[in-house]
Each structure stands twice: as C-alpha cells, then as structure tokens.
Amino acid sequence: MSNSNSITKTFTIINELGLHARPAMLLVQAISRLECSVNIEKDGFEADAKSIMGVLTLAAEQNSHIIVRAEGPDAEKAINAIEKLVEEKFGED
C-alpha cells in the first residue's frame, strides 16, 4: 500500500525478547531524524514511533504483528530502516 508518500507495512517481531528497551531505542533512533511521521499500531493501539515510551507501551512481544505507517518525504526510508532492524532481530539473539 502506498500513494505519493504514505506507506503502510506490517512486520512480525521475531527477536526473542520482543520490542523491549534496546530495540525500541534503535527503532526510534533510526527514524527520529527523518522527515516523516511514523506511527506503529499494535492491537488497535497506535504509538508515535519517535517516542520511546510510546513504542515501549505497545509491549510488542515475539511473533506479534506491528503495523507501521509512515507519512512524509522520507516515508520509504523510515519503512526500510524499520524493516532492516526487525529482520536483523535488532542485533539480538
């Protein structure tokens, strides 16, 4: 799904400990300087992906799904950065 500069993509968290403090920090750092807004949705709750507490509050455990929605000129960069982190298990395991 994408129009001009809004991209939505669903990811499965595969690292064993889920989206805990360190992965959340890496995720926030990866996108915080990009020129786009990024929201992460889990179980119907939506957090600002640029907020550490927001991302942590989602408590996305292993094998859970998150829906990432990026909007703005850097939307594609944001999605790619998050995809890389998720696939690389945030450098864990």
Active site residue 65: no
Candidates 10, 21, 73, 84; binder of another protein (CB under 8 A) is 21
Contact call for residues 75 and 7 (beta carbons, < 8 A)? yes
Residues near another protein (CB under 8 A), total:
15
| C-beta neighbour count of 53 within 10 angstroms | 10
25 burial via Cβ count (<10 Å: 0-12, 13-18, 19+)? middle
Of the residues 27, 30, 50, 85, which one makes contact with another protein according to CB under 8 A: 50
Residue 29 in the binding site for another protein (CB under 8 A): no
Instruction: Name the residues annotated as catalytic.
Output: 20
